Structure formats: C-alpha cells, structure tokens
Amino acid sequence: FTRCDSFRENKRSLKRLGIGCVKIRIESRMDGMSELFTYTSNIWYYLIYGVGFIVVVKMFKRPFRKMLDITYAKFISAIPKGYNKKLGYRKEKLFTEMFKMTRELNRPLEVIEIGSGSGANFQFFPKGTNVTCIDPNPYFASYLKNATKENPDVNIREFLVGVAEDMSPLLNNSVDAVVCTLVLCSVRDVGQALQEFKRVLRPVGRTLRSPSLVETEEYYVEKNLQFFKSPMERFHFWIKGGKLFYLEHVRADERTFNYKMQRLLNPPWRFISDGCNLTRDTWRYVDEAGFSDVKQEKFSVEIYSTWKKIAFPDVIRPHILGVATK
C-alpha cells in the first residue's frame, strides 16, 4: 500500500475542526484496485467520556436519582422495538399458552407484569387481557399510556411502583398469569421473587363451562361423562393453576469463552446497568421454586450484522424462555 505523507498533518487539522471520522483512500500497487477505509479516531473518547459520566452519576446517585430514572425510562422505552423485531417469534411462541387459558376460562385473563417498562409485551397478549403493571421506575407510567393507545385491546388495571420481591398490595391467589421478561437478571433475591409469583397465582380448581361445549373433549380430564356424580357436574372442568411466563438472558455454558467474558465483565456491567447480572442461572431458581410443572427452553440469539453485534454483544445473547405452572 502507498503511504500518505500528509496523513498525520491532515488528521491533526481535522481534529482541530472537531471532525472525528477521516476517510483515507488506500491504493493497492498489486492490482491497481482501491478501497475506502474509514478511520474513526474519536470513538474511544466517546466511550470513555460516556462511561465516566455514568460512573460519576452513579457515585452520587441519590441527588441524581430522578434524573437517572427519567433517562433510564427514555432509554429502555427505545429498546423493545428492536428486541421484539429480533425475538418477536419467540414471544409469540411463549404467550401462545395465554390464548389457550383465555379459551379455557371463557373470560379475559387477569395478568401481573413485573418490570412492565414501556409495555413492550402488550402486543402479544390476548384481547381483553387486564394487566396490573409493577415497575420500580415511576416514570414508565407515561410510556404505558402510549402502549395502550397502540394496543387498545389490553386494559391496564393499575400501575404500581414496586419490586418483584415484595408484592404485598396484591392478594393471594388473585391472578391467572405473571409475566416477567428481562427482569429476573436484575432482582436482588430471585427465590423470594418466585415465591411472590406463586403466592399471587391462582391455584388448581374447577370452573363452569358453557353447556354447548360440554362434549368438547379438550376441556375435560374425564372424557367419559358417565363418571360425573351429578348432572350439573357435567358443566364443570378442571383447570390448572396460574402460570408464570418468563424470558430472560442467562449465563453461558461454563465451558465456553463467552462465560469467561461474562464473569470478567459482570462487576462493571452490574454497576452501570442498575444491577443486571450476566452470570445468573435463572433456570435453576425456577426449577427449585416448587412449581408443579416447568417447561423451559434455552437458546442463543443469532446476530450476523456487525453493527447489531455491537448493540447486542455476546455476553447477553444466551437466553431462556419458559412457562411454570403453580
């Protein structure tokens, strides 16, 4: 490659003008071909200044708490569009069970969403779903109003400022489903949060079904009607307990290089991202929580674009989704 003698002088002059991106034309002597190479000289400065600003604000986060919450709400509300575009089909698969529950109960579902954020999951809920939103950040309330305008078939019963580990304002056995996506990575006590989810979920029971659907076998455990003790019992069917729907990023396999990077980056990552944990094995906590049935699937988000890899780094690509029944 030919050497550009005036490159350093040009670079200095461009820096004085505040221009951080210098385009250099490199000519090849071998085949006479040329290519355009983009040299971004200020990218590290931006990263250092940005991280430095976050560190300073976090060190004095009490006086900056309101500013942090407002900024965080605005930042997080911009992420779900790209996330849903990439993992929308996964969410559709996850929430398919909610549509089955709606048909079985023959009424709108009562749902609690933990860490509801800006309402990114509303588009995947069945029509008429009543949602109680819980989030520690009070400034998500305005974004939830916008989400209901985009999804008018979903009703927000209440917005509560709180955390997953303490849902004391909610009654026992009061809801059909609990939804948490990208939440369990940040809670302080995962075990306590899961016990709270179980507490508010309704237990196993029976419900009344329309007589026109008595002969539909999928609604019955006892498919032969002669086993019912009374005529009215023909119109009842057994329903399972409430369900927990979750989608979380988790730690990678311990044998991989990605896991080593997660362990290395976890301390600064938790400090900057408000407690988000890269090395949490969420599936183990769910298995040990005492649910009657757990169905979960591990997967890794596939990214091929270079710029998307920067926005969606390897350390947060291992994911898990599942449904746990009380």
| pLDDT classification of 215: cutoffs 50, 70, 90 | very low
What would the mean pLDDT of 38-65 be, rounded to a whole number?
Answer: 56
- Specify the higher pLDDT residue, 70 or 219: 70
The three-state secondary structure class of 210 is: coil
Cβ atoms of 135 and 116 within 8 Å: the answer is: yes
Q: What is the distance of C-alpha 183 from the center of its chain?
A: 6
Q: What are 286's two structure tokens?
A: 């769910």
Supply the Cα-derived Rg of the chain in whole angstroms: 26
pLDDT of residue 48: 60
Q: What are 195's two structure tokens?
A: 């016990």
- Kindly state the DSSP code that residue 4 receives in the 8-state scheme: -
- Measured distance CA(131)–CA(120) in Å, rounded: 13
pLDDT of residue 41: 39
Q: What are 86's two structure tokens?
A: 């990439």
User: What are the tens digits of pLDDT across the range 112-156?
Assistant: 999 998 899 999 999 999 999 999 989 898 889 888 888 999 999
User: What are the tens digits of pLDDT across the range 81-121?
Assistant: 778 888 889 999 999 999 999 988 889 999 999 999 889 99
For residue 158, what are the β-bridge partners?
132
- Measured distance CA(317)–CA(249) in Å, rounded: 7
> What would the 3-class secondary structure string for 115-171 be?
CCCCCCCHHHCCCCCEEEEEECCHHHHHHHHHHHHHCCCCEEEEEEECECCECCCCC
- Measured distance CA(155)–CA(125) in Å, rounded: 10
**Residue from 2, 55, 57, 44 nearest 24 by CA:** 2
The three-state secondary structure class of 86 is: helix
Cβ atoms of 57 and 68 within 8 Å: the answer is: yes
- Measured distance CA(163)–CA(186) in Å, rounded: 10
Query: Look-up: residue for tokens 């016990």?
Result: 195
- Measured distance CA(38)–CA(19) in Å, rounded: 13
User: What are the tens digits of pLDDT across the range 263-297?
Assistant: 999 988 887 777 899 999 999 999 999 999 999 99
- Kindly state the DSSP code that residue 263 receives in the 8-state scheme: H
Burial class (CB in 10 A: 0-12, 13-18, 19+), 34: exposed
Cβ atoms of 249 and 279 within 8 Å: the answer is: no
- Measured distance CA(284)–CA(254) in Å, rounded: 14
pLDDT of residue 57: 59
The pTM of the whole model exceeds 0.75? no
Cβ atoms < 10 Å from Cβ of 212:
7
- Measured distance CA(33)–CA(26) in Å, rounded: 9
Cβ atoms of 131 and 113 within 8 Å: the answer is: yes
User: What are the tens digits of pLDDT across the range 7-30?
Assistant: 455 555 544 444 444 444 444 444
